[in-house]
Structure 1
Amino acid sequence: MIRAHSLTKRFTTGKGQSKNAVDGIDFVVEPGRVTGFLGPNGAGKSTTMRMILGLDAPTSGTVSVNGHRYAASPAPLREIGALLDAHAIHPGRSARDHLRWMAASNGIPTTRVGEVLELVGLEPVAGQRAGRFSLGMGQRLGIAAAMLGDPPVVVLDEPVNGLDPEGIRWVRTFARQLADEGRTVFISSHLMSEMALMADHLLVIGRGRILADCSMTEFMSDHAASYVRVKAPALADAAAVLGGRGLEVSRHDDEIRVVGLDAPSVGELLFEHRLAVHELTLVRSSLEDAFMGLTADSVEYHAIAPSEGVAR
């Protein structure tokens, strides 16, 4: 379990002004589920993860792993496995030797090195220098290092970065397996489509503050727009019936979109008026849409929209 209480990190800018990268946040990452950590660039995600691992000291507040500071653990790799930067390895060292010295530093049997290399699919290239690895291979080595101590808590930052479709699916399945084993799984990613498939719970941060801390189901219910798509021969009549009941109805080409009633109820209402229906579908916006809507006011770095600039 990871627990943060009033966690704050303040930095001094180049102009001598102070800024809260993380602003008094409270959260608990529970075992037995995959918790997704989301936020725009500059929201405070990386700073929060670095404070969990003791790489940055909080200005105030506390963060603990399994009831104590992570830095106080005599064998950190057995406590928490982390992947923050897959390239934080010596390029001249082989994958096997990289893991061997990590194992030796935490009293982990060398037999575990072969196990994690096989786990991530790098056993055939274990003798190669890590500097020759592709981005995806480096990610796999980083995950192997995170799992070296068979830790009860796993923290992964952008774990699917650079992976091919097979590797992305493997990470998704692996994260689910770790949670099913009762481990605490905390994953940060910008790939919303993958997070939608992977996470049970979401922690969303913006400008250093928690914007949402709830299950995926609750998040989508609270922040994802939805409507019922209706296609019918007498579309104008259907719109009139539904609008007459006080529902929000809009016309879009060969369909109408209805807000304020679920699909079965819309169908029953039209049936009562003897109106034929060709399609009745509940359409819900994606996790990406819901996330963008929630964090719109928290984005610090805005690119120019394609229609606003000219590529040269």
Structure 2
Amino acid sequence: MIRAHQLTKRFADKNAVDGIDFVVEPGRVTGFLGPNGAGKSTTMRMILGLDAPTSGSVSVNGHRYAASPAPLREIGALLDAHAIHPGRSARDHLRWLAASNGIPTTRVGEVLDLVGLESVAGQRAGRFSLGMGQRLGIAAAMLGDPPVVVLDEPVNGLDPEGIRWVRTLARQLADEGRTVFISSHLMSEMALMADHLLVIGRGSILADCSMTEFMSDHAASYVRVKAPALGDAANLLTGRGLEVTRVDDELRIGGMDAPSVGELMFRHGLMVHELTLVRSSLEDAFMTLTADSVEYHASTEGAVA
């Protein structure tokens, strides 16, 4: 479990993290989302003791992570896939980490096999691609078989098979009862991976809820209707006080669920070809929630067509 209480980090005249409270529970994958500059990396660094809080506190399983005598057995973390000596082989990189935390060397082979790097374990890490570096970073995070796993953008540079593997691994770790805390800008993948979301913007918590609650609260939805007599359907639904928008050969209905729309049209003898509930994506919901928290807004004016 990770617990933060009034966690604050100030740089010069700006609060990068502004008095936040949260708990990352075991047994589920918690996604950590936020725009660039929102405070995600600073928060993760404070969890790991790499940055000291200006005020407040953060603990891992009831105590400060920095106080652990064998940190890799307490929490496995990947913050920077490039934080590897380029002259060391993947195997030697993991062997010295294991030795520093009293972990048997047999575990090195196990995690290399876990991440699919056993065939290149003797190669220098400086020659690795970004995706291979990510796999080696995850191997290091899993070296101590930790109860808490923290991964910052773990799918960067991975191919589709690798992305699916990370998703499966995260779900498996959560199912084993571990605490899994993952940040990512890849919203489509987070939608498939996370059970719970922690969203931060300008250093403050904007949402701390289940994925289901988040989508219910922040994702727009409408009922798509396609029918032969589209005009008659529009008149009927508008007459019931519903929000009706016509887009090409379909109606978009707000204010009533799909079964009720279908039943209403059936009672009035109107044939339906399609009746679908359409809900916006996690990306759309995230963008709506964080619109006022984005530090840099790009403009499309003058863009090349």
The two structures share one fold, judged by TM-score above 0.5? yes
Separation in 2 of the partners of 1:179 and 1:19? Answer: 35
SS for the counterpart of 1:307 is coil
Separation in 1 of the partners of 2:33 and 2:86? Answer: 30
Cα shift readout 1:245-285 (whole Å, capped 9, x = no counterpart)? 11111111101000011100100000111100010000000
Measured after TM superposition, the shift of residue 82 of structure 1 is 0.1
Cα shift readout 1:138-166 (whole Å, capped 9, x = no counterpart)? 00000000000000000000000000000
Measured after TM superposition, the shift of residue 201 of structure 1 is 0.2
Measured after TM superposition, the shift of residue 244 of structure 1 is 1.1
Separation in 1 of the partners of 2:8 and 2:183? Answer: 19
Separation in 1 of the partners of 2:300 and 2:173? Answer: 44
Separation in 2 of the partners of 1:295 and 1:157? Answer: 19
Residues 139 and 229 of structure 1: CA distance in aligned 2, closer, same or farther (over 3 Å)? same
SS for the counterpart of 1:210 is strand
SS for the counterpart of 1:78 is helix
Q: Which runs of 4+ in 1 moved over 4 A?
A: none
Measured after TM superposition, the shift of residue 310 of structure 1 is 4.0
SS for the counterpart of 1:308 is coil
Aligned residue runs from structure 1 range 266-277, under 5 A:
266-277=261-272
Residues 239 and 299 of structure 1: CA distance in aligned 2, closer, same or farther (over 3 Å)? same
Separation in 2 of the partners of 1:111 and 1:173? Answer: 24
Separation in 2 of the partners of 1:240 and 1:255? Answer: 14
Measured after TM superposition, the shift of residue 177 of structure 1 is 0.1
Measured after TM superposition, the shift of residue 311 of structure 1 is 4.9
Paired residue for 1:309?
Answer: 302
Residues 1:30 and 2:25 aligned together: yes
Measured after TM superposition, the shift of residue 49 of structure 1 is 0.2
Separation in 1 of the partners of 2:252 and 2:196? Answer: 30
Separation in 2 of the partners of 1:269 and 1:210? Answer: 42
SS for the counterpart of 1:306 is coil
Cα shift readout 1:97-156 (whole Å, capped 9, x = no counterpart)? 000000000000000000000000000000000000011000000000000000000000
Paired residue for 2:7?
Answer: 7
Separation in 2 of the partners of 1:264 and 1:35? Answer: 33
Separation in 2 of the partners of 1:80 and 1:307? Answer: 43
Separation in 1 of the partners of 2:217 and 2:235? Answer: 28
Measured after TM superposition, the shift of residue 306 of structure 1 is 6.2
Cα shift readout 1:18-76 (whole Å, capped 9, x = no counterpart)? 10000000000000000000000000000000000000000000000000000000000
Measured after TM superposition, the shift of residue 301 of structure 1 is 1.1
Give the gaps of 5 or more residues in structure 1. 12-17
The TM-score, its normalising length taken from structure 1, stands at 0.96
Separation in 1 of the partners of 2:57 and 2:102? Answer: 28
Separation in 1 of the partners of 2:6 and 2:78? Answer: 25
Separation in 2 of the partners of 1:194 and 1:244? Answer: 41
SS for the counterpart of 1:139 is helix
SS for the counterpart of 2:290 is helix
The TM-score, its normalising length taken from structure 2, stands at 0.98
The percent of aligned pairs where both chains have the same amino acid is 91
Give the gaps of 5 or more residues in structure 2. none
Cα shift readout 1:225-245 (whole Å, capped 9, x = no counterpart)? 000000011111111111111
Range moving further from structure 2, 82-91 or 234-243: 234-243
Measured after TM superposition, the shift of residue 307 of structure 1 is 3.8
User: Of 150, 172, 181, which aligns to 2:167?
Assistant: 172
